[in-house]
Chains A and B, each alone.
Chain A
Amino acid sequence: MKQIILVEDDPGILDPMIIILRNSGYAVTTFLDGVLILNNDFSPPDLFIIDKQLPGVDGLEICKYLKSRKETSSIPVIMVSATPNIHTLGKAAGADDTIEKPFQIHELRDVVAKHLTR
Chain B
Amino acid sequence: MSIDLNRNITSWNKGAENLYGFAAEEVLGKSLELVLLPEDIKALIEKVNDIVNEVTVPIYKTIRIHKNGRHTDLEILLSPVRNANGVVIGVSTVARDITVRKMHEQQKDDFIAIASHELKTPVTSIKAYAEILHEQLEQSGDEASMEIAKKLRIQVNMLIVLIKTLLDTTKLGAGEMLLEVEQFDLNLLVKEQIESLVAVSDNHNLILKAGEIKPISADRKLIGQVLTNIITNAIRYSPGGGDIIIATKMSENGVQVSIQDFGVGIPASEQGNIFDRYFRVSNPLTSRASGIGLGLYITAGIVHQHGGTISLVSEEGKGSIFLITLPEGGKQKE
Contact = CB atoms under 8 A, between A and B. Distances in A.
Interface string B120-147: 1111110111011001000000000000
B209 interface: no
B174 to A, nearest CB: 14
Interface string A75-100: 00000001011011000000000000
Interface residues of A, number: 19
Nearest to B131: A105
Interface string A1-20: 00000000010110111011
A104 B131 contact: yes
B17 to A, nearest CB: 48
B160 to A, nearest CB: 5
Q: Which of B117, B122, B124, B180 has the most CB of A within 10 A?
A: B124
Interface residues of B, number: 17
A88 B180 contact: yes
A102 interface: yes
Interface string A25-52: 0000000000000000000000000000
A106 to B, nearest CB: 8
B178 interface: yes
B121 A87 contact: no
Interface of B: 117, 120-125, 127-129, 131-132, 135, 160, 167, 178, 180
30 contacts: A10-B121, A10-B125, A12-B121, A12-B124, A13-B121, A13-B125, A15-B125, A16-B125, A16-B128, A16-B129, A16-B132, A17-B128, A19-B132, A20-B128, A20-B132, A23-B132, A82-B117, A82-B120, A84-B167, A84-B178, A85-B180, A87-B180, A88-B178, A101-B121, A102-B120, A102-B124, A102-B128, A102-B160, A103-B127, A104-B127
Interface of A: 10, 12-13, 15-17, 19-20, 23, 82, 84-85, 87-88, 101-105
